Amino acid sequence: MDWFLDRQDRASASLLRREITGYLSRHAVDQAEQIDDAALIVAELLANAYDHGRGDIWVSLQWTEVRPVLEVHDMGEAFTLPREAPTAEQYRGRGLWLVSQFSSELAVAAKRAGGKFVRSVLPVVRPVELTLDLPARRVSPLPAMSEARPEGGFGRESFLRALVVQLSTAVEQQQGPEAAQRAIAQVAADIGGQMEQEYRDAIATQAAQLAPEQIAECLVRLKAAIGGTFQVVEITGDRLVFVNSDCPFGAAVRQSPSLCRMTSSVFGGIAARNVGESAVTLEERIAVGDPQCRVVVHLGAAAAKAENAHRYTASA
């Protein structure tokens, strides 16, 4: 789940802290003390971003493993985590010291083109997140195959229309970020399957499975058709790595980072249908202030080893 916070609206941090704490309480194994510790971590990291960071703030909570991972991004400079408890005379560093004591893991990293993010593994557990690995619905395929352009792929208009139509029927307003990401994942499964079929028709293949090179070509092709600039930087039997400098959704994606689930679900679904299983790691995202997107698609057995990834199976 992802959130955008306006630096000028400090009250939004308190609202988000309560929202995240409520989410953890509903899903974690019954452990009230650990929930309180996690709430303190959320509060301190949000306060640190407002008090000592710069620019916009983005918050991400991923719960694909046993413990959830919280990331807080802003455009301020990176810093060094305290190694020892601050003395009574030291004003700064108290909050981060507390966070370091309660977090399972805590790290700070500079963004490649400026800014930073703080990552904390929160001290609560549950079995695993329900992966948004949804089967493509076999009704009303959007866009229609007749809309494929002569030069290949589907155009921006048909793609965006499909997005709007499917989203309007998949989610009701005000259901929150988790519901929004579920809807986006479903839309991506629907559209991704149709785009894969268009690619198969274009190269006239009857093969049951696309090779890794063909999967990469298919993914670049479909993104280019809607205005993305994805390029392949690595192809192996274990993974595909893509970079992109221009989001098809434009600057607006920074205020709606949940749209990144579209890329994850399309890429992961197509890969899984051809190699059995896949996992997608969004290593860099324009939606959270990075200068480019960097997407890693783990293939086959390598998918099980990917950390903090969205997972997909051939059923998608």
Domain spans in the chain, listed from the N-terminal domain onward: 2-121, 145-313
What integer pLDDT is reported at residue 97 of this predicted model?
A: 76
In the predicted model, what is the mean pLDDT of residues 95-102?
A: 79
For the stretch 187-198, pLDDT in tens is 777 788 888 999
What integer pLDDT is reported at residue 238 of this predicted model?
A: 95
Cα–Cα distances (Å) from 1 to 74, 176, 253, 277, in that order, read 17, 9, 14, 22
What integer pLDDT is reported at residue 278 of this predicted model?
A: 95
Task: Calculate the dihedral angle through the C-alpha atoms of 307, 109, 76, 90, rounding to the nearest 10 degrees.
Answer: 120
What integer pLDDT is reported at residue 303 of this predicted model?
A: 93
What integer pLDDT is reported at residue 314 of this predicted model?
A: 81
Options 3.40.190.10, 3.30.565.10, 3.40.50.2300, 3.40.50.300; CATH of 2-121? 3.30.565.10
The C-alpha atoms of residue 218 and residue 200 are separated, in whole angstroms, by: 9
Which has the higher per-residue pLDDT, 178 or 213? 213
Reported confidence tier of residue 130, pLDDT bands at 50, 70, 90: very low
Lowest-confidence range among 34-48, 58-72, 105-119, 248-262? Answer: 248-262
For CA atoms 139, 199, 303, 28, give the dihedral sign.
Answer: negative
Residue 149 has pLDDT above 50, yes or no: yes
Residue 101 has pLDDT above 90, yes or no: no
Reported confidence tier of residue 169, pLDDT bands at 50, 70, 90: very low
Extract the tokens encoding 39.
């709430």
For the stretch 205-257, pLDDT in tens is 989 999 999 999 999 998 888 778 899 999 999 999 999 988 877 776 776 77
What integer pLDDT is reported at residue 270 of this predicted model?
A: 93
- Asked whether the beta carbons of 249 and 226 are under 8 A apart, the reply is no
What integer pLDDT is reported at residue 209 of this predicted model?
A: 93
DSSP 3-state percent helix, strand, coil across the chain (nearest 5): 45, 20, 35
Query: Over the chain, what is the mean pLDDT?
Result: 80
Reported confidence tier of residue 161, pLDDT bands at 50, 70, 90: low
Residue 117 has pLDDT above 70, yes or no: yes
Instruction: For residue 109, report the phi and psi dihedrals to the nearest 5 degrees.
Output: -140, 140
Residue 98 has pLDDT above 90, yes or no: no
- Asked whether the beta carbons of 89 and 41 are under 8 A apart, the reply is no
- Asked whether the beta carbons of 58 and 289 are under 8 A apart, the reply is yes
Options 3.40.210, 1.20.1440, 3.40.50, 3.30.1380; CATH of 145-313? 3.30.1380
Cα–Cα distances (Å) from 246 to 197, 224, 297, in that order, read 25, 10, 19
Find the distance separating the first CA and the last CA of the chain, reported in whole Å: 21
- Residue 121 parent element (H or E): strand 116-121
Residue 165 has pLDDT above 90, yes or no: no
CA-based Rg of the chain, rounded to a whole angstrom?
A: 20
- Asked whether the beta carbons of 196 and 215 are under 8 A apart, the reply is no
What integer pLDDT is reported at residue 168 of this predicted model?
A: 46
Residue 316 has pLDDT above 50, yes or no: no
In the 8-state DSSP scheme, what is residue 66? S
For CA atoms 231, 311, 152, 206, give the dihedral sign.
Answer: positive
DSSP assignment of 231-256, as one string? EEEEE-SSEEEEEESS-TTGGGGGG-
- Asked whether the beta carbons of 153 and 221 are under 8 A apart, the reply is yes
What's CA 213's distance to the chain center, in Å?
Answer: 24
Residue 136 has pLDDT above 70, yes or no: no
Of 192, 191, 196, the C-alpha closest to 207 is 196
Residue 153 has pLDDT above 50, yes or no: yes
Extract the tokens encoding 315.
């059923």
